[in-house]
Chains A and B, each alone.
Chain A
Amino acid sequence: MTSPSPVLEAEQRAWRYWFTDGLTNLMVGVSTLLMALCLLYTPRWPPAPVSMALWLTALVLYVVMGARHREIVQWLKTKITYPRAGYVQSPYSEDPICSANLVTVSLTGARAAPPEEVQRAHSSRRTRMFLMLGLVMLASLGMLTIHERWVWAAAGIMIGAAMWLARNNYRLSWIVPVGFPFVGLYITIFVASPGAPPAYFLAGWGVLFLLDGGMKLIRFILQNPAPKVTTA
């Protein structure tokens, strides 16, 4: 096996830098948990004002976090990441497919084309991402169409495999790919009430990403202490 060229290595380090602080995963975790809460606590008719207000707040927060994912992460990075470890261009503006994955699309055509080996790396990432999305969509289709309890365990295994494929691209720790089969198995065995499994699955999804992102953020902050502010 040959080692990557310095250019490719620098490109990969710059790409991974976006994910090292765990903020992206924390955002995914929080928004997925909000979605799960909305599903779990859908107000019944006639709705109580408090529960309706809480439900609407969670729903609005979920929509805002989905639509403004990039801006929120960028804002958090200006507070936490850049002052501690510096700024490098985010992968969003380099690779439009990445943006498409995370809802917002940013196409900056004015930039010079990346070198050939970097383009090859982008293409390989894209292939892996399509494989991941394919597996997630297949699992989602199964969860929607097959009304058997074992389908949650199978979906957990499939999404775990998808996350395993994505773990290098998005700097996922082992918690996420290993955790999904357990979430699926838990729902298959313990969650019996109809309608509840999708919400529990999403909640498990959110918790896994929160754990992953939270651990990464703590590690990042410990490894990169805040710069000392000198006052004149």
Chain B
Amino acid sequence: MRKTLNQKAWFFVLPVFVLVAFNAAIPLMTVINYSFQETFGDNIFFWEGTRWFKQILQSDRFHGALGRQFFFTFLILIIQVPLGIAIALSMPKEGVGVSVCLVLMSMPLLIPWNVVGAMWNIFALPEIGFLGHSLNALGIDYNYTQQPFAAWFTTILMDVWHWTSLVVLLSYAGLCAIPDAYYQAAKIDGASRWSIFRHIELPKMNKVLTIAILLRFMDSFMIYTEPFVLTGGGPGNATTFLSIDLVKMALGQFDLGPAAAMSLIYFFIVLLICWVFYNLMMRHEGQS
């Protein structure tokens, strides 16, 4: 059924338009402006053309940050998606347990992101943090402020703790929508638990998983606050992801031109991957 056209509705959207224009559209225009120019302050600009874009795309520093970013996102996705689905599968579907589980799952999502970073910063400290101290007591030489591997390990652990719940909640919603008759028919057909998962639950969770993966991809690709508060991008540049590198360049070094160019490149990468991903999902849906 088509909704009837009501032109008056546009007026309701106007305030949002103004807000978005002010907060997003105009700053975006500014960034595009900066990316083609050079400045030494005092609002004096010199046209540089595509020099910054070439410089960024050829710099080793950028390649390093980009590589780290892709690797990080990849690890996040392969850990959080299966883990989230597994937790959702083990959550009860009725009874008092449902509310308890839902509340427990929601809690990590409610904590402000810099607080999450700060929490894990202290939690993983080698001498006084519970995690850090325990690992060292077990004989593992662990110090995330100095060892790149430990820094990665801690960052990923923190993100998994923080965001897996999102995948859990979305998967759970998808699972609850499956009518009981499917499980009954599978029981009668003698299907194993794995068969039921593969042939009923996974296909039926298709749509929610698409959303979950898309959200997790975007968020992890743009991650800034938590790793910044946890490791500051260190040790060295071991955990300097794209956004952290970008901010260093823009605010730390005040290289506005290159920073603007890099942020646009960043933006287009995210846009491109999301577009590819979306089309793949839509084509897959169109087939079925």
Query: Do they bind each other?
Result: no
- List B residues at the A interface (Cβ < 8 Å): none
- List A residues at the B interface (Cβ < 8 Å): none
